[in-house]
Amino acid sequence: MDMEFVESLRMSKRKEYMKLSELSDLTEQLAQATDRRDEVSAKMLVAMRQQPLLELHEIEETIREGVLHQEEEDAIRLSALMDGEEVSGPLLEEEQALREMCERNRRVMERIASVDRRVSLGLGGKRSFYNNFR
């Protein structure tokens, strides 16, 4: 496996982490705005979340394309590493760093989803997006 590519994936995941952190902050601010019933701030924060979401989508697309251009065996291993699945054989230092970065991103995404769910259920009630998944 090309360790330079693994390192470039880790750096892309680091960019993703920074965007997720920005999105998390905006989502927390949105929750605070909805808690105090500040409709103007809430609308502004919803709009502000769009840009980091678009940038996250672009980062993920770049990662996906890069992985798909690897040898099949390497692509499978990289996908498993990034998804937190078990892989055969010992992890190299670069692979471990990639796995840790992906796990950190996953934790931030879970936190964002939790706050987003609370906001959506508070604002939308029965019409909330999240009620479709109960």
* Residue whose C-alpha is closest to residue 17's, from 77, 62, 60, 78: 60
Model confidence pLDDT, tens digit, residues 71-129: 999 999 999 999 999 999 999 999 999 999 999 999 999 999 999 999 988 777 776 66
**Do residues 12 and 63 make contact, with C-beta atoms less than 8 angstroms apart?**
yes
For 42-59, write each residue's pLDDT tens digit: 999 999 999 999 999 999
Q: How does residue 131 score in pLDDT terms, banded at 50, 70 and 90? A: low
* pLDDT reported for residue 48: 97
The pLDDT, as a whole number, for residue 1 is 85
Residue 70 φ/ψ, nearest 5 degrees: -90, 165
pLDDT at 15: 98
Residue 134 has pLDDT above 70, yes or no: no
Structure confidence at residue 99 (pLDDT): 97
Instruction: Give the chain's domain count.
Output: 1
**pLDDT at 12 > cutoff 70:** yes
pLDDT number for residue 120: 86
Q: Is 24 a residue whose pLDDT tops 90?
A: yes
Q: How many CB atoms lie within 10 A of CB 133?
A: 7
**CB neighbourhood size of 58 (10 A):** 12
**Domain interval for residue 40:** 3-133
Instruction: Give the pLDDT confidence score for residue 130 in this predicted structure.
Output: 59
